[in-house]
Chain A
Amino acid sequence: MGKENPKQHQPSLHESTHSLKGTFIAVMLLGIFILVAWFGFYALFLSR
């Protein structure tokens, strides 16, 4: 936003050349781990 900051006046072309496939899969795995853990402990709760 700064006038002194010339880089922000350039049209911003975020480099989308880099693949983020690995990141996508890693975050999905993380989400699955959280869900599995939650339902696992929920099952333990129900069984008691």
Chain B
Amino acid sequence: MATNQLPLAKKDARLYMAFMYVTYTALLVGGLMGLLQTLARSGKYTLPFNINYYTILTVHGVILGLVLTTFFIIGFQFSLMEKTVGISDKQRKVAWLSFWVMVTGTIMAAITILIGEASVLYTFYAPLRAHPAFYFGLAFVIIGSWIAAFVNFRQLYVWKKAHKGQKSPLLAFMVTINMLMWFIATIGVATSVIIQFIPWSLGYAETINVLLSRTLFWYFGHPLVYFWLLPAYMAWYAIIPKIIGGKLFSDPLARLAFILLLLFSIPVGFHHQLTEPGIDPTWKFIQVVLTFMVIIPSLMTAFSIFATFEITGRKKGYKSLFGWFKKLPWKDVRFLAPFIGMAAFIPGGAGGIVNASHQMNALVHNTIWITGHFHLTAATTVILTFFGITYWLVPHLTGRRLTPRLNKLGIIQTFVWTVGMTIMSGAMHIQGLLGGPRRSNFSEYAGGEQVATWINYQIAQTVGGTILFIGILLMVYIFIQLTFFAPRGVEEFPIAEEEKNAEPTPKILENWYLWIGITIALILFAYTIPVFDILKHSPPGSPPFDWPIGRG
């Protein structure tokens, strides 16, 4: 692609940078809340100004899990779409609309949480009730992201029309898969927010069907984590090969992996509800089987990454079995940060298989093991890859360069993050196996024997959390440098190319009717009967609870 070296037009760069500003503001605010949580849970520190623990816990989860991720992903994906299929003036205008709708929703939700009117955690489980503005804010964020999704669909459609018979660029295909998955998944949570939560929080409905709301949440909650992961996969498949001086390993393999991730992302939400009464175990079993299908595209991805490394190294002339491994560009932070992310996904993925296994879920359900798990997957694998993207994307957009000094700072940042997260997430995993609960504030639980085994791990989490916060400060500093102060120049937008003699990509991989059809069929299969069961046999709904946490 000849355009990769060229900077984007200012008006385009401004749009993508707008998403990045929100991302890094969210990182700072959300990270600070994380630090405060680990401090509070050490038992040696009380939060100042009477701040409620559950308020900062909610800010942390919502700002990092929902706001940071969504803004970064949508901004990054817009830049990928422009580089591969282009953007029109009208599309750019609508893209700005999506940005502002999302910002409005974010501000509404953030203020509601910060004034203590929505201490309901990021899962906002009923019957905890938040102020209606919180739910409206969430709805706006989702609607804004839908606008972005439809701009992306339109971008690909326009390109396809102008390039009849050609296969779509790989990254544009991947973005479309991700936004398609996001759209289908968010319909679930949007339904729950609009039909259940908003009338109930306004007082129009007296009760809420708790099980239904949780089921609709997890219909969305699992694809949510793939929505974070797929942009990381985009970088691993189609950007990292360019950074290490290689080629795309296989275009059809990458497309097939993304299709499988789409198919098996949504009909699997019950693996978050394995301890839930009111859902037939048969359907839990079926959804667990569907969950495990994700192992196939995951191992395809691992294979593809190893193969890219090996082929690139062998082309450079390394003959020994693992000699190619040593010669990867370890001193290039654009490679190192995502690589550590990939490595973290090995224990992260293995832990995920444990979580989704029905029996073993009993071992870890509602323990802080789960928190440790998603800090490995989301807060290491995904975020380190996002940082890795930032190091070239931001200077590319601002017309600056990643200097050797900033590259070095990035390497230090990656190292700090790795150490901090190993300590914090490791301590969370072990404490979870010892029965330590997640979510809750510091407590001695009336001095039980088992409780005494937890405290050292909580202190370790404080140490890890503090190191991670230093990492956040460093990353925000690097972001500011890359945005405003680094020397002017041109930073490459790395997109890997196919081998000259690559096999053609089968046409069926771009048959959208087929893949969307199977996706919907799988969802209907996995959810129709259990949802009818829930509607028919649910106990009476619950009135709202504003206490002990929730509002005020």
Contacts and interface: CB of A to CB of B under 8 A. Distances in A.
Nearest to B499: A15
A38 B311 contact: no
A33 B310 contact: no
Nearest to B306: A23
A38 B501 contact: no
A41 B347 CA distance: 13
Contacts of B303: 23, 27
Nearest to B503: A12
Interface string B240-258: 0000000000000000000
Interface string B278-308: 0000000000000000010001001100110
Given A18-B311, A44-B363, A2 B165 contact: yes
Interface string A2-39: 11110110101111001111110111001101100110
Contacts of B499: 14-15
A37 to B, nearest CB: 4
A21 B318 CA distance: 13
B502 A42 contact: no
A-B pairs, top 4 by smallest CB distance, nearest first, are: A2-B166, A23-B306, A37-B350, A23-B307
Q: Which of A4, A38, A45 is packed against the most chain B CB atoms within 10 Å?
A: A45
Interface string B302-323: 1100110111001100000110
Given A37-B354, A38-B354, 17 more contacts: A1-B165, A1-B504, A2-B167, A14-B501, A20-B310, A22-B325, A23-B307, A26-B302, A27-B302, A30-B299, A30-B346, A31-B299, A33-B346, A34-B349, A34-B353, A37-B351, A41-B360
A46 to B, nearest CB: 9
A22 B306 contact: yes
17 contacts: A1-B167, A2-B167, A4-B163, A5-B166, A12-B503, A14-B501, A23-B309, A23-B310, A26-B306, A34-B353, A37-B347, A38-B350, A41-B363, A42-B359, A42-B360, A45-B359, A45-B360
B362 interface: yes
B339 interface: no
Contact of A7 (B299, B306, B363, B500): B500
A29 B310 CA distance: 16
A27 B362 CA distance: 30
A10 B172 CA distance: 25
Nearest to B307: A23
B96 interface: no
Contacts of B374: none
Interface string B361-382: 0110000000000000000000
A27 to B, nearest CB: 5
A45 B166 contact: no
A27 B301 CA distance: 10
B507 interface: yes
B504 A8 contact: yes
Contacts of A12: 501-504
Nearest to A4: B166
B85 interface: no
Contact of B363 (A21, A22, A26, A48): A48
A38 B353 contact: yes
A46 B128 CA distance: 35
Contacts of A44: 363, 433
Contacts of B515: none
B422 interface: no
Contacts of B346: 30, 33
Contacts of A31: 299
Contacts of B306: 22-23, 26-27
Nearest to B506: A1
A44 B311 CA distance: 40
Contacts of A42: 357, 359-360
